[in-house]
């Protein structure tokens, strides 16, 4: 669309009474049935809004996107989710439905900035409270294992909000690693974060054995197969692990607690759960939880 046409479109909205909500903006554009299927919540990643659109409303995606732009002037682009988080890299495909044709967002959190290219890397603003919570638990001069680092939100927020000495940020997706390098430079934390491109399974035995006071594991689907590596990365006196996991609401932490116990047994460690809490609801039957646990060699008291 040309700049002139875009201007005309924005004017058309601004000449009318400014709609206060997405529902109100779509009042005359969707049928009663369609309105019932409209999902009004969305994620904000900088100036990009990411919204889910019900299958039956796919033909109205552009109209919904434009209404979202009209009611939330901070956004320049609206993307719709076009598939599930996929594969090892947990990337969620998204499609631009309105506004500027760019999937690059500049996202701000806790005084740090992140360049995120949606559709190429995993990114979720929903764990910001967790990043703040863990920052407050980190003690002066701690060394952190930031596993599954993505474009760097955990270690970069830790640099800003805690007195940590250093974080090893391990990431397997080359695109996310590129973003991690960019964001480390953007936030001037080169002296605090060591980025490592590779698989946690291989990186830990090669370079992180016994190095960390604390390990964060934000891989809620599949993270359980890296529990041994997390414990092996802890210093000989032991340390703390933050383990994220999707669980059935009915059974809760039962399965992950078993997994922690089994992994600890295999590496000759004992564990003590410090905290076990829900992070967010994921679907009708599933939720994301985090278990903070202390792990130390069995021979130590
Ligand atoms: C759920 S995302 C979390 C990313 C980031 N911590 C965040 O919160 O935005 C998990 C990340 O782990 C990476 N990953 C998956 N398997 C891995 C492995 N074996 N070793 C290192 N990174 C891995 C994925 O590429 C993805 O970027």
pLDDT tens digits along 223-274: 999 999 999 999 999 999 999 999 999 998 999 999 999 999 999 999 999 9
Confidence of residue 14 (pLDDT cuts 50, 70, 90): low
Distance 6 CA to ligand 1 centre (A): 38
Cα distance between residue 223 and residue 214, in whole Å: 16
pLDDT at 7: 55
For ligand 1, pick from 116, 170, 171 the residue to mutate: most ligand atoms within 8 Å of CB: 171
- pTM of the prediction? 0.91
Q: Is the CB of 152 under 6 A from ligand 1?
A: no
Reported as half-sphere exposure (CB side, CA atoms, 13 A), residue 241 has a value of 35
The SS3 of residue 90 is coil
pLDDT at residue 17 tops 80: no
Q: Is the CB of 127 under 6 A from ligand 1?
A: yes
The SS3 of residue 293 is strand
Architecture label for domain 124-297? 3-Layer(aba) Sandwich (3.40)
Nearest CA to ligand 1 atom 1: 219
Contact 115, 179 (CB under 8 A): yes
Q: Which atom of ligand 1 is nearest to the CA of 123?
A: 9
Give 121's strand partners.
Answer: 118
What would the mean pLDDT of 192-204 be, rounded to a whole number? 98
Residues of the chain with CATH 3.40.50.150: 124-297
Contact 121, 179 (CB under 8 A): yes
Q: Which atom of ligand 1 is nearest to the CA of 148?
A: 12
Confidence of residue 8 (pLDDT cuts 50, 70, 90): low
Cα distance between residue 247 and residue 47, in whole Å: 32
pLDDT at 283: 86
Q: Which residue has the tokens 């732009």?
A: 69
Distance 171 CA to ligand 1 centre (A): 6
The number of beta carbons lying within 10 Å of the beta carbon of residue 48 is: 25
Q: Which atom of ligand 1 is nearest to the CA of 127?
A: 8
Q: Is the CB of 217 under 6 A from ligand 1?
A: no
Cα distance between residue 15 and residue 97, in whole Å: 23
Q: Which residue has the higher pLDDT, 205 or 86?
A: 205
Q: Is the CB of 176 under 6 A from ligand 1?
A: yes
Residues of the chain with CATH 3.30.300.110: 3-102
Distance 158 CA to ligand 1 centre (A): 17
Q: Which atom of ligand 1 is nearest to the CA of 176?
A: 27
Smallest CA-to-CA distance from 283 within 227, 221, 225, 218 is with: 221
Cα distance between residue 43 and residue 49, in whole Å: 6
Q: Is the CB of 171 under 6 A from ligand 1?
A: yes
Cα distance between residue 24 and residue 128, in whole Å: 30
Q: Is the CB of 177 under 6 A from ligand 1?
A: no
Q: What is the strand order of the sheet 48-51 is part of?
A: 42-45, 48-51, 77-81, 94-99
CATH number for the region 3-102 comes to 3.30.300.110
Residue 287 tokens read as 């939720």
Cα distance between residue 272 and residue 267, in whole Å: 15
Q: Is 161 left (phi over 0), alpha (psi -120 to 50) or beta?
A: alpha
What would the mean pLDDT of 76-94 be, rounded to a whole number? 94
Per-residue pLDDT tens digits for 153-178: 999 999 999 999 999 999 999 999 99
Q: Is the CB of 124 under 6 A from ligand 1?
A: yes
Contact 210, 269 (CB under 8 A): no
**Strands in 134-227 per DSSP E:** 143-146, 166-171, 193-197, 214-217
Residue 249 tokens read as 């609401």
H helix runs in 45-84, sequence order:
61-71
pLDDT more than 90, % of the chain? 86
Nearest CA to ligand 1 atom 11: 148
Cα distance between residue 5 and residue 45, in whole Å: 26
Nearest CA to ligand 1 atom 4: 150
């Amino acid at each position: 669309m040309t700049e002139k046409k875009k201007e005309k479109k924005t004017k058309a909205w601004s000449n009318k009474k400014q709609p206060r909500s997405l529902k109100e903006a779509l009042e005359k554009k969707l049928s009663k049935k369609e309105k019932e299927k409209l999902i009004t919540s969305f994620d904000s990643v900088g100036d990009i809004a990411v919204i889910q659109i019900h299958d039956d409303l796919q033909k109205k995606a552009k109209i919904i996107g434009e209404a979202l732009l009209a009611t939330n002037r901070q956004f320049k682009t609206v993307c719709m989710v076009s598939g599930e988080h996929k594969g090892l890299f947990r990337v969620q495909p998204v499609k631009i439905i309105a506004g500027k044709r760019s999937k690059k967002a500049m996202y701000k959190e806790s005084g740090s900035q992140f360049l995120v290219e949606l559709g190429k890397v995993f990114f979720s603003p929903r764990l910001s409270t967790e990043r703040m919570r863990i920052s407050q638990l980190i003690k002066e001069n701690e060394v952190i294992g930031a596993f599954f680092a993505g474009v760097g939100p955990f270690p970069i927020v830790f640099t800003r909000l805690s007195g940590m000495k250093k974080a090893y940020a391990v990431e397997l997706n080359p695109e996310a690693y590129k973003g991690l390098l960019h964001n480390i430079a953007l936030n001037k934390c080169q002296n605090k974060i060591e980025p490592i491109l590779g698989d946690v399974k291989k990186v830990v035995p090669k370079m992180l054995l016994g190095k960390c006071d604390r390990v964060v594991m934000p891989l809620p689907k599949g993270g359980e197969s890296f529990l041994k590596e997390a414990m092996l990365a802890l210093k000989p006196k032991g340390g703390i692990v933050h383990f994220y996991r999707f669980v059935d609401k009915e059974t809760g932490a039962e399965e992950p607690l078993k997994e922690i116990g089994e992994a600890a047994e295999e590496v000759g460690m004992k564990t003590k759960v410090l905290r076990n809490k829900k992070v967010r609801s994921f679907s009708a039957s599933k939720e994301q939880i985090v278990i903070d646990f202390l792990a130390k060699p069995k021979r130590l008291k």
